[in-house]
Amino acid sequence: MVPLEQAAQHFLLARTVSSLYQCYIRLSGEAVEDYAHTKDMKRLEIYRKKIQKVESQKWFKEHKRSLEVNVSAANRFISHAIPELTTEQRAALRQVPCNSMSMFLVRSHAARI
C-alpha cells in the first residue's frame, strides 16, 4: 500500500476510535473537556490537514497541464485571425519554431504597417 493511503487509513482509524471514546464519555454523563481527549482531537486535526495538503499536492502534480504550444493549432488560429497574410507569410508561419513564434508575429505585423 502507498504510504499516503496508509497514513489516510491510520488517520481514519484513529479518528474513529477517538469518536467512539468521546461517545462513551458523553454517555457515561461526564464532561468531555475534562479529559485529554480534546488534545487528541486537535492533534488529529493537524494530521488531517497534513494529509490533505499532501493529497492536494499529489493531485495537482498529476493533473498539471503542459505548457507546450501546439504549433499547428497556433498556425490555424493565426491564419484565420489575420486573413490578409500573403502566401509567403503563411508558408513562413508553418516553418517557425515554437519559441520564435512571437517574434515572427511582430515582424510580420510590422511589415504590413
Residue 109: pLDDT band with limits 50, 70, 90: very low
What pTM does this model have?
0.54
Residue 40's pLDDT is 86
At residue 103, the pLDDT reads: 47
Of 29, 54, 113, 62, the C-alpha closest to 105 is: 113
Name the DSSP letter for residue 65. Answer: P
Which cell numbers in the block locate residue 26? Answer: 458523553
List pLDDT tens digits, range 9-68.
Answer: 999 999 999 999 889 988 988 877 777 778 888 999 999 999 999 999 988 888 777 667
pLDDT higher than 60, residue 5: yes
